[in-house]
A and B are shown apart, each in its own frame.
Chain A
Amino acid sequence: MAELDKEFLTTLVCPEFHAPLVQVGEWLYSTDPATRRRYPIRDGIPVMLIDEAETVDQEDWNRILSEAKRA
């Protein structure tokens, strides 16, 4: 899985709540604990549409974000 360019990733935010994102595999996760959206990356291209977002449940989100922070 290719990592998105770091600088490009820092310009991207959740289109709905404007929170910064972290990449984990083929998804971009919102860092906002209240809204917890994730957006898919398809063929290396982030799909930043509100309709394409999924809301991650609290436990999964906590785990994924803490793992991402450690990495």
Chain B
Amino acid sequence: MPQVTSSSSVEIKNRAKRQFESWADSYDRSLLNHFMFRPACMALMEEIARWYDEQRRPFCVLDIGCGTGTLACRLAGSPWPVSVVGMDYAEGMCQAASAKAAHAGHQAHFATGDSEHLPFADASFDIVTCSNSFHHYPHQQAVVHAMRRTLRPGGRMILIDGFRDNIVGWITFDVIISRVEGKVYHAPWTVVRDYFQAAGFTAIHRRKLNFWFPLLVTIGDVE
């Protein structure tokens, strides 16, 4: 990814924060929710089910960029023996998520936090997820390292973001979304794979979701 100076990275993060704070109320009803966030959430549930089929033990999930807590609520309402923590950079999102979980009677915990400075102890989680948020991060490699730090042995990282390695994805993310959201970076698969390798993940693989609004799902394990 292009080098980011510290002043521009602060500006990028503040911009994202403003965008999402003002979006917290209408987020669940937006078109993007229908075309991107919901399929991403379904894919995360499938990947988590796959992990659970392999491991069959109680587990903890951290969802980074949890938004209004859609995944956290689904997990907390699932029959799995799971405890869930959601984190978002926008405080308004965490409040919306917490209210949504409480309303549904689900047990989930939320914290406002910065993906580059994760407020979690080493080896605290079995699964870390991050969906449709990674392109806002000015220092993506550092974030992948931090995610790896919070995972336990046997854990799994599941990252979903815009797939820009074909023409549909390139137009969607590098042209349209970048115009709307400003300085964001949708990393190609080879770059994401390198981030994962550098952070020490193993069994790194990917899948692609959707024809329109294509999404890249990257999965890596901790030995």
The reply to whether B119 and A15 form a contact with Cβ atoms under 8 Å apart is yes
A42 to B92, CA, bound (A): 11
| Nearest-Cβ distance from residue B87 to partner chain A, whole angstroms | 8
- Is B98 a contact partner of A48 (Cβ separation < 8 A)? no
CA–CA, A5 and B124, complex, Å: 15
Q: Is the CB of A10 within 8 A of B112?
A: no
Is the Cβ of A45 less than 8 Å from the Cβ of B112?
yes
Please state if B95 and A46 are interface contacts (CB–CB under 8 Å). no
- Whether, in the assembled complex, A44 has its beta carbon less than 8 Å from a beta carbon of chain B, the answer is yes
Residue pair A15, B98 in contact (C-beta under 8 Å): no
Number of A residues whose C-beta is below 8 Å from B?
A: 23
- Does A49 interact with chain B (Cβ within 8 Å)? yes
Contacts of A50 in B (CB 8 A): 114, 117
Which chain A residue lies CB-closest to B84? A8
Q: Interface residue count for B (Cβ, 8 Å)?
A: 23
Q: In the complex the two chains form, is A13's CB within 8 Å of B98's CB?
A: no
Q: Are A11 and B85 in contact (CB under 8 A)?
A: yes
| 1/0 contact string of B65-95 vs chain A (CB within 8 Å) | 0000000000000000001010101010011
- Complex contacts, B110 vs chain A, CB 8 Å: 45
> Are B91 and A13 touching (Cβ within 8 A)?
no
With A8-B85, A45-B98 known as contacts, the answer to whether A13 contacts B121 (CB < 8 A) is yes
Closest A-B pairs by Cβ, 6 of them: A48-B119, A15-B117, A15-B119, A8-B109, A11-B124, A48-B113
10 example contacts (A-B, Cβ-Cβ < 8 A) are as follows A5-B109, A11-B60, A15-B114, A15-B117, A15-B118, A18-B122, A39-B119, A45-B91, A45-B94, A50-B114
Q: What residues of A have a CB within 8 angstroms of the CB of B109 in the complex?
A: 4-5, 8
Contact B121 A12, beta carbon cutoff 8 Å = yes
Q: Which residues of B contact A39 (CB under 8 A)?
A: 119
Least CB distance from A8 to B in Å reads: 4
- Asked if B204 CB lies within 8 Å of chain A CBs, one says no
Q: In the assembled complex, which residues on chain B have CB atoms less than 8 Å from the CB atom of A67? A: none
Cβ 8 A contact of A45, one of B60, B95, B114, B122: B95
Query: Which residue in chain A gives the minimum CB-CB distance to B98?
Result: A45
CB of A47 closer than 8 Å to a CB of B: yes
Chain A residues, Cβ within 8 Å of B87 = 48
Closest beta carbon of chain A to B86's beta carbon, Å: 10
Known: A15-B113, A44-B98, A49-B114. 8 other contacts (CB 8 A): A11-B60, A12-B111, A13-B120, A43-B98, A45-B112, A47-B91, A48-B111, A49-B89
